[in-house]
Amino acid sequence: MEYYELHPDTPQQRYINKAVNVLREGGVIIYPTDTVYGIGCDIFNKDALERIFAIKNDGITKLFSFVCSDLKDIAKYAKVSDYAYRTMKHLLPGPYTFILPAAKHVPKKLWSKRKTVGIRIPKHVVTLDLVAELGNPIISTSTTNRKGELILDPAEIKSIFQSQVDLMLSQGALAGKPSSIVDLSGETPEVVREGAGDVSLFLP
């Protein structure tokens, strides 16, 4: 595994470019977000997707969200109602995952049984640069151990995943709280998980 430490305020573009090249070649990376470290690949690379399912030890039932670069980008990969658009415009970029009806060309491996997908736009320059430079969304699934517990320390992440991924971008210990998950696929919003993002807007 290639391992690069990013400056906390001015991350080195050359390291981000290396990660983008790995993604373009069908590789799997670990990268920082505004919440926790994510394991990612190009959502349109079938082999890389299979690798991530294997890494997470859940090739059948696990559903992964993915990162888009902006609201305009989301509209390519999901069906966005007027209400969903207004809501996301207000809260993104930020520590949220929004569940939306999937667009047809999104790999069905990422669909739920209800034909929905989870989409993120993190408030993190590295994550957004990766997606913008690649030109496709990337998978966003958190670094966890076999018990499903979050791993936040870069050294521990490196130790556990060094033989499973191709490259890691490290930026020190992160916040340690996963994104809030809000389902906007129905007529009324539903908070699926309360995490780093404030969900009071969606509560009665």
Query: What pLDDT score does 146 carry?
Result: 80
Write down the pTM of the prediction. Answer: 0.93
- pLDDT score of 157 more than 70: yes
According to DSSP, residue 62 is labeled: -
Q: What average pLDDT does the segment 133-147 reach?
A: 92
What's the CATH architecture for 2-202?
A: Alpha-Beta Complex (3.90)
Beta pairing class for 37-40 and 29-32: antiparallel
**For the chain, which residues make up each domain, given as ranges?**
2-202
> If you average pLDDT over every residue of the chain, what do you get?
93
What gap in Å lies between CA 133 and CA 142, rounded to an integer?
21
CA–CA separation, 76 vs 98, rounded Å? 15
Q: Is the pLDDT of residue 183 over 90?
A: yes
Q: What value does the mean pLDDT take over residues 170-194?
A: 92
- Chain centroid to CA 85: 19
> What's the number of CA atoms in the CB half-sphere (13 Å) around residue 191?
14
* Cβ atoms within 10 Å of 117's Cβ, excluding its own: 27
Q: Which of the four pLDDT bands, split at 50, 70 and 90, describes residue 194?
A: very high
Distance CA 198, CA 204 (A): 14
Instruction: Provide the pLDDT for residue 58.
Output: 61
Q: Which pLDDT band, with edges at 50, 70 and 90, does 34 fall under? A: very high
Long-range CB contacts for residues 150-156, cutoff 8 Å, separation at least 24: 150/36, 150/176, 150/178, 151/37, 152/36, 152/37, 152/176, 154/5, 154/37
Sheet holding 96-101, edge to edge: 2-5, 167-170, 29-32, 37-40, 138-142, 65-67, 116-120, 96-101, 180-183, 190-193
Residue type (1 letter), 55: I
